[in-house]
Structure 1
Amino acid sequence: MKTNGIPSVLAFLVLVFAKCGFGEKYRTESAHDLSSSLDFEEMMSAVIARNQELANRMTNLEFAMEELRRHDENLSLGIEKLSQDNRYLKKADENMRLDIERLKKTNERLRRDLQEREEEIRRWESAVEERLLYLEAIGLQIAPRTCETLAKLGVTRSGNYLIDPDGVLIGDSPIRVLCDMETGWPGSSHANPVSTIVLHDSMEKTEVHHCTGPGCYSRKVTYDASLKQIVSLIDQSASCEQRIRYDCSAVVPNEGDTPYSWWLDRHGRPRYHWDEADAVEHASDCGLSHDSIDPTRRCNKDARALQQEANIGIIADPTALPIVELRFGGVQTEVQKANHTLGGLVCRGRATPSANPPTSCSSLRRAGNTGTGYHLIGKKQGRLDVVLCRMDLEETDPGFQLETDAFIQQGAVYFDAYRTTPWDNWDWIIPFDGTEVNIGDAMDPSTGIFTAPQDGIYAFHLHCWTRVVNHNPSTPRGNLITIRKNGEEVAELITQEIDINSDQNQINDQMPGQSILLDLSVGDEVDIFLNRGETYADFFNGGRSLHFVGYLLYPL
């Protein structure tokens, strides 16, 4: 309920008059009453002012209430909006929950798919690994012995390849080499461009450490192949070489007859030459070329010549390669400098085929047969000897080739010579009219001489028809036929008349025989010789009444 200031004052005055009464009317007119009246007025003014202040505050409160009402309406609208937002968020939350469920399902499906893919990849990896192992095994079985063989199979790209110089599935494992299919022989106009290069751990330029004594610096060389495989490669190649580059400054390679530098061959023997032209002397052109600052003194022996020299030497001795260690010395002061670079072992071409059949285990190795075991070799003509070849040993080892007593006869020698006519020329070799067999062509029927084509034990058999006609009983007659070796009698065949009848002529027909074994060397001659008498024949039927048979019984 609204109140104004004036009505409130009037109400207050009514209350005052009612309390005091009209009997007090005239008391106020005194001076004291006048003073009280003034105080009353002041009090009334204060009350009015206070009332006005309260009225203002009430107005302000009404405005504030109105503002609060509007705020309340706005708050209600905000709450409604928040409710709407909350409902939207709940819906969005539900949608998100559904999305999360879908994502979970998708993730689970993807996880299963990933597991299946991983399992499939593992199966593929396993299959690929098995295939690689299989291909590697196949590669080991068919690995060529040299890069040249690989080139003949159609490979034209240079690169690293597996080769097996000592033979497939025997000896050491295949080795990995660099096959250079493009760089030709020096000066060959690419006549044979294929090179097999065995690499090692000392191919980079390496500083020679400062030290004073002969060979005090040592560099052992480790190859990417076993020594057995390397030697097999060398044996099968037309040529092999290694290049040494030696850069030096003010270094003395030799001091009088004392060499300060050398290298070790595959047998561990020191070699003092650095180029094949100097193989017979202790030579070092720094140590590799003769083009030094002072041409009369090698490798800058004049210490005043301090410029660096680069020298190259080539080692091509197949019995020494590969180089297994380098030794240098005489690099004493900081002024002296030396570096070395050792090239890979480079082999080219194919070794000249050995005799067929091979004559030794060495020729077998050079022909590429590097399997340890029993082999046939043709040491002697007409036979193949069985020997044990220890291909895992060096050829200088006494056990490299071991002999056995076994052999196989290679060339057969048989003949059967005959006569169809009589022969009565005394002191003469009996010739023949022909041969039934003459394997080896060692019998010459026209001369009657057999010439041994190979060493061995030979058997000979002689059968002939002899006839003795005794015309004078007082002087009996007979036949003497001998088998000769190089003109010397070695066997006799004798026939003599029997039962001599003094009253009439006696005819004695016989078919004597003789056999002998002879130890012959190549070129020895054997014949039958008529000393006296005659050999007989069937004139009418052309019978072969004399046979001389011989054959090789045991080659030596």
Structure 2
Amino acid sequence: MENSYKIHLYVFLFAYCGSRLVTCVSSEEKVQYSTDNEIATKELFEAKIMEIEAKVVNLETKVAKQEYIIKALQNGCEVSRAGHVSVNKTDNKNKILGKNFIPRTCQEAYDQGMIMTSGLYIIDPDGQNVGGESEDPIEVYCDMGVGSAVKTLIGHDTEATGAVEICNDAGCFKKDIHYFASDKQIEALIELSNECHQYFKYECIEAPFEYQSEQVSWWDDRNENQQFFWSGKYTSPNAHTCECGIYGNCVGGGTKKCNCDSGLKDLQVDSGIISDKTKLPVKRLNFGHIIADGLYTLGKFECSGKVFISGMPRTCADLRGFGHALNGMYLVMGNDSIENIYCDFSKLQSDNDFQKQIGRVEVQSSPTFFYVQRSRKMDSGIITFQNAPVNIGNAMNLSTGKFTAPVFGTYFFSFSGIGSMDFTTKDAKLQVSLIKNSQNIGKGEAQLTQGLSTDTLTLQSTVDLQAGEQVWVNINIYGEIHLFDDVDQHYTHFTGWLLQEDIVETLNYAN
């Protein structure tokens, strides 16, 4: 009985002490639980606020679109059930803008004085092709913004902040992006614009872009290639970085390229502007190794400004930038000549049939050819001339005997004459040299022996000259000999002409 009492007492004491210990530990856990709960609640509220802000922006866009549709209906345009405004391209009338011309970009509409305020408008980036091969105009948001650059914004179906689903594999969560414009119209807008960009933001808790040196998240560009940079421009294949990686201030140390790669269990954010217009727009988002939470936000596709083209057009792309939209043959500046090309403006710049080479065109800005003669004999120095049956371009100076190239190009020269000696029994030699800027580039020679009083000499050469360079013929004699001529017969002839002008160098020199 006594032993039984002791056992019950021990059990009671153990239970009492145990309950006191549990009470002590539970108090600490309650404090920790309360702190964690407050942090989680704060993060939840922040996420909800961002989600609500995104919804507000989306609703504002919808309201603006409804107002735009009402205006379109009032102007007699057709509106589909999906809310797309139809413009009759055969009439070439932009009823919303009230003009007989549909601008290709918001910048072009602004430059033409067609729009002055931000709002929804119709544009036609690929142009109003007469053959009917271009696509229908699109509706975009024109943002006047600050400064002279006007933005063209194309929306998509994923502008509201979205949540990723928990999954483990690389790229296991995918989200396709559908834009409110065709791929062709978007690419045409890119070709016409000075710059294009797209905003991206990712809020993450244990949802990295890179995990154990493996790329688990990426986006697909317009050519369906994987891209791993989330801000800035493409630098190299598989280059992985975010905005903090560009500036070297990512959470987790200098080796990290994104805040979400830190591995921390609290909320991290990576946001930035993707600005490589050769890759944009984003066509699909791919996320992987999502342990906890992730929220993504992808902004509208934005382009601004216009491509600056200096000098004369060199390609069909340059011609399109100048505003040409009619298919046909055009003259453009080649590498060293004027070239004839065929432009199909119904195609994109990346299409093989967009530009076809037809051939070179021989163009001379300054036609040049001459034929000059002597009327009397001479025996030394630069050969001068007294007669000029032809001197088109006046590049040949008879009194100095020097030809001055008016333009860059390839020239041909030919000289002929007679060497003569009188009343001598000794051998003699007469040489003529073609001189370019005091440099000997060719010689002709007449050799006379006893019993032979005359000998014909000729000299021909093809020479590349820059504008302003000079060519002349110089005479040297060895013995009793001279260059024969008289006033009636004209035995000395010098002729030359421009074979082919380097029109590109000529125009560059003139500018």
TM-score scaled by length of structure 2: 0.63
Match for residue 119 of structure 2 among 148, 154, 159: 159
Other structure's SS at 1:273 match: coil
Give the partner amino acid of 1:330. Answer: H
Deviation at 1:452, TM superposition (A): 8.9
Match of 2:156 in 1: 200
Give the partner amino acid of 2:303. Answer: C
Match of 1:59 in 2: none
Match for residue 137 of structure 1 among 83, 88, 92: 92
Match of 1:229 in 2: 185
Deviation at 1:470, TM superposition (A): 0.7
Give the partner amino acid of 2:195. Answer: S
Instruction: Report if aligned partners of 2:370, 2:396 keep a CA contact under 8 Å in 1.
Output: no
Instruction: Report if aligned partners of 1:273, 1:284 keep a CA contact under 8 Å in 2.
Output: yes
Larger mean Cα displacement after TM superposition, 396-405 or 150-159: 396-405
- Whole-angstrom CA distance in 2 between matches of 1:442 and 1:147: 55
Deviation at 1:355, TM superposition (A): 3.0
1:272 paired with 2:228, answer yes
Aligned positions of 1:414-493 closer than 5 A: 414-416=368-370, 418=372, 424=378, 426=380, 430=383, 437=391, 439=393, 446=400, 448=402, 453-456=407-410, 458-462=411-415, 468-472=420-424, 474-475=425-426, 479-481=430-432, 483=434, 487-489=440-442, 492=444
Aligned positions of 1:105-254 closer than 5 A: 133=88, 137-139=92-94, 142-154=101-113, 155-169=115-129, 172-184=134-146, 191-254=147-210
Match of 1:108 in 2: none
Match for residue 518 of structure 1 among 430, 449, 462: 462
Match of 1:100 in 2: none
1:342 paired with 2:342, answer no
Other structure's SS at 2:272 match: strand
Unpaired runs of 5+ residues, structure 2, are 1-72, 79-86, 503-511
Deviation at 1:202, TM superposition (A): 2.3
- Whole-angstrom CA distance in 2 between matches of 1:135 and 1:385: 33
- Whole-angstrom CA distance in 1 between matches of 2:399 and 2:321: 43
Deviation at 1:289, TM superposition (A): 8.6
Instruction: Pick closer, same or farther for the CA change 1:228–1:529 going to 2, 3 Å.
Output: farther
Other structure's SS at 2:202 match: strand
Deviations along 1:207-226, one digit per CA (max 9) or x if unpaired, are: 22332222222222222333
More helix by share: 1
- Whole-angstrom CA distance in 1 between matches of 2:201 and 2:225: 21
Other structure's SS at 1:342 match: strand
- Whole-angstrom CA distance in 2 between matches of 1:225 and 1:537: 81
Q: CA RMSD in A?
A: 4.6
Give the partner amino acid of 2:103. Answer: P
Instruction: Report if aligned partners of 1:462, 1:547 keep a CA contact under 8 Å in 2.
Output: yes
Match of 2:338 in 1: 384
Instruction: Pick closer, same or farther for the CA change 1:520–1:348 going to 2, 3 Å.
Output: same
Give the partner amino acid of 1:176. Answer: I
Match of 1:355 in 2: 311
Match of 2:494 in 1: 548
Match for residue 325 of structure 1 among 268, 278, 284: 284
- Whole-angstrom CA distance in 2 between matches of 1:265 and 1:433: 73
Deviations along 1:256-294, one digit per CA (max 9) or x if unpaired, are: 321112222222222211111784531146999976554
Other structure's SS at 2:297 match: strand
Instruction: Report if aligned partners of 1:452, 1:520 keep a CA contact under 8 Å in 2.
Output: no
Instruction: Report if aligned partners of 2:94, 2:101 keep a CA contact under 8 Å in 1.
Output: yes
- Whole-angstrom CA distance in 1 between matches of 2:91 and 2:356: 36
Deviation at 1:323, TM superposition (A): 2.3
Aligned positions of 1:57-68 closer than 5 A: none
Instruction: Pick closer, same or farther for the CA change 1:160–1:353 going to 2, 3 Å.
Output: same
TM-score scaled by length of structure 1: 0.59
- Whole-angstrom CA distance in 2 between matches of 1:425 and 1:294: 91
Give the partner amino acid of 1:138. Answer: K
Instruction: Pick closer, same or farther for the CA change 1:323–1:366 going to 2, 3 Å.
Output: farther
Deviation at 1:321, TM superposition (A): 2.1
- Whole-angstrom CA distance in 2 between matches of 1:173 and 1:366: 18
Deviation at 1:429, TM superposition (A): 5.3
Instruction: Report if aligned partners of 2:382, 2:475 keep a CA contact under 8 Å in 1.
Output: yes
**Greater CA radius of gyration, 1 or 2?**
1
Deviation at 1:414, TM superposition (A): 0.8
Instruction: Pick closer, same or farther for the CA change 1:311–1:303 going to 2, 3 Å.
Output: closer
Match for residue 475 of structure 2 among 527, 530, 534: 530
Match of 1:404 in 2: 358
- Whole-angstrom CA distance in 2 between matches of 1:146 and 1:268: 25
Deviation at 1:454, TM superposition (A): 4.2
Give the partner amino acid of 2:475. Answer: L
Match of 2:25 in 1: none
Deviation at 1:135, TM superposition (A): 9.2
Instruction: Report if aligned partners of 1:165, 1:368 keep a CA contact under 8 Å in 2.
Output: no
Number of residue equivalences: 403
- Whole-angstrom CA distance in 1 between matches of 2:361 and 2:285: 46
Instruction: Pick closer, same or farther for the CA change 1:223–1:175 going to 2, 3 Å.
Output: farther
- Whole-angstrom CA distance in 1 between matches of 2:118 and 2:335: 45
Instruction: Pick closer, same or farther for the CA change 1:128–1:371 going to 2, 3 Å.
Output: closer
Give the partner amino acid of 1:471. Answer: F
- Whole-angstrom CA distance in 1 between matches of 2:140 and 2:266: 37
Deviations along 1:377-425, one digit per CA (max 9) or x if unpaired, are: 22233x3112344656666666655433342424344142757786846
Larger mean Cα displacement after TM superposition, 383-392 or 321-330: 383-392
- Whole-angstrom CA distance in 2 between matches of 1:440 and 1:248: 78
Instruction: Pick closer, same or farther for the CA change 1:521–1:399 going to 2, 3 Å.
Output: farther
Give the partner amino acid of 1:481. Answer: V
